[in-house]
C-alpha cells in the first residue's frame, strides 16, 4: 500500500489567523517586515497640523487678528493723548484768563431787614412779611455778572421757614455796587409753643436772630464771552431789635459760595 504524504502546514494568509479560541489563545499581531520599527504615540501628544491648502489662510487670519489688536491699542492711545492735551490746554487757558482778568468774588451784605405780621400773643397761624435789602459789590475790572431767573430767597427762624421770595433779574457791570430790594411773605405758618416763647424772650432782649438764605443762578461775562450758568449761595445771619416795622439791624454776617456745575 502506498504511503500517504501530508502537506506541510502553510503560514496563514493575509486576513487569516491561527490559534485556538477554545483554549483561550488569541491571534498574534503579524510581525513587522524586517528593518522597520513600530512607534506608539499617546493620543494626547498628537498635534494637528492644518493641511497645506489651509496654511496660507491660517497665516492671513493670524495677521488680520494681530493687525486689528494693534489698531485698537493705537486708537486707545490716541484717545488718551487727546484727553491729556485737552486738559493741559484747559489748565493753560484758565491760568491765562486768571492772570489777565484777576477775578474776585463779589461781596454781599444785608442793608435792610424789616419784619411785620408776626403776632406772638395768639396761637393762630401767622402770615409774616419781610422786606429785605441786599447790597452786592462787584469789584472786578473786566467781569460782569448776570443774575438770572430761578432764584430763591428764604428767611428762617431756627428751623422754621417763615417766608420766601425771589431776587429781581438784573445785570451788574464791572466795578459796580448794586442794591436790590425784595419782598418776602409766608402764609399760615404755625408756630409751636416753644418757638413763640423763644421769640418773646428775644424780643425782650431786642436781639431776634434770623437766617437769610439766597440761591441765585448767575452767568459771568468776560469780555464778550458768557460762561455757563453757575449757582451762587448766600448765607446771612441777621439779628434785629423787634418784630415790627421799622426794625433795626443789630448784627449781620454773610458768607457765600459758588457751585460751578
Name which of 84-93, 115-124, 212-221, 227-236 the model is least confident about.
84-93
Range picked from 45-49, 97-101, 142-146 for highest mean pLDDT: 142-146
Q: How far is CA 199 from the centre of its chain?
A: 43
As a whole number of angstroms, the distance between CA 64 and CA 77 comes to: 20
In this predicted structure, what is the pLDDT of residue 141? 87
Residue 43: pLDDT above 90? no
Residue 184: pLDDT above 90? yes
Residue 76: pLDDT above 60? yes
What pLDDT band is residue 27 in, cutting at 50, 70 and 90? low
- Enumerate residues 6+ apart whose C-beta is below 8 A from 167: 134, 147, 151, 153, 180, 182, 214, 216
The structure's pTM equals: 0.65
As a whole number of angstroms, the distance between CA 64 and CA 236 comes to: 68
Q: Quick one: cell of 66?
A: 494681530
As a whole number of angstroms, the distance between CA 153 and CA 147 comes to: 13
Residue 18: pLDDT above 60? no
In this predicted structure, what is the pLDDT of residue 57? 64
- Average of per-residue pLDDT across 157-182: 96
In this predicted structure, what is the pLDDT of residue 186? 96
Cβ pair 247, 114 in contact under 8 A: yes
In this predicted structure, what is the pLDDT of residue 100? 46
Amino acid at each position: 500500500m502506498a504511503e500517504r504524504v501530508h502537506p506541510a502546514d502553510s503560514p496563514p494568509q493575509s486576513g487569516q489567523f491561527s490559534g485556538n479560541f477554545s483554549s483561550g489563545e488569541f491571534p498574534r499581531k503579524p510581525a513587522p517586515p524586517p528593518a522597520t520599527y513600530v512607534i506608539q504615540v499617546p493620543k494626547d501628544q498628537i498635534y494637528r497640523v492644518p493641511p497645506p491648502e489651509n496654511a496660507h489662510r491660517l497665516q492671513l487670519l493670524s495677521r488680520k487678528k494681530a493687525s486689528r489688536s494693534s489698531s485698537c491699542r493705537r486708537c486707545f492711545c490716541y484717545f488718551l493723548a487727546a484727553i491729556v492735551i485737552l486738559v493741559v490746554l484747559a489748565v493753560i487757558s484758565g491760568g491765562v484768563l486768571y492772570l489777565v482778568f484777576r477775578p474776585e468774588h463779589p461781596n454781599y451784605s444785608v442793608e435792610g431787614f424789616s419784619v411785620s405780621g408776626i403776632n406772638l400773643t395768639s396761637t393762630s397761624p401767622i402770615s409774616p412779611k419781610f422786606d429785605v435789602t441786599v447790597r452786592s459789590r462787584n469789584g472786578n475790572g473786566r467781569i460782569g455778572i448776570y443774575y438770572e431767573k430761578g432764584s430763591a430767597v428764604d428767611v428762617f427762624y431756627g428751623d422754621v421757614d417763615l417766608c420766601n421770595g425771589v431776587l429781581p433779574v438784573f445785570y451788574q457791570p464791572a466795578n459796580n455796587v448794586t442794591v436790590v430790594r425784595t419782598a418776602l411773605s409766608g402764609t399760615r405758618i404755625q408756630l409751636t409753643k416753644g418757638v413763640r416763647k423763644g421769640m418773646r424772650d428775644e424780643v425782650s432782649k431786642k436781639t431776634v436772630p434770623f437766617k437769610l438764605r439766597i440761591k441765585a443762578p448767575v452767568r459771568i461775562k468776560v469780555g464778550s464771552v458768557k460762561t455757563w450758568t453757575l449757582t451762587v449761595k448766600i448765607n446771612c445771619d441777621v439779628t434785629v431789635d423787634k418784630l415790627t416795622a421799622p426794625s433795626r439791624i443789630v448784627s449781620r454776617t454773610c458768607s457765600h459760595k459758588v457751585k460751578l456745575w
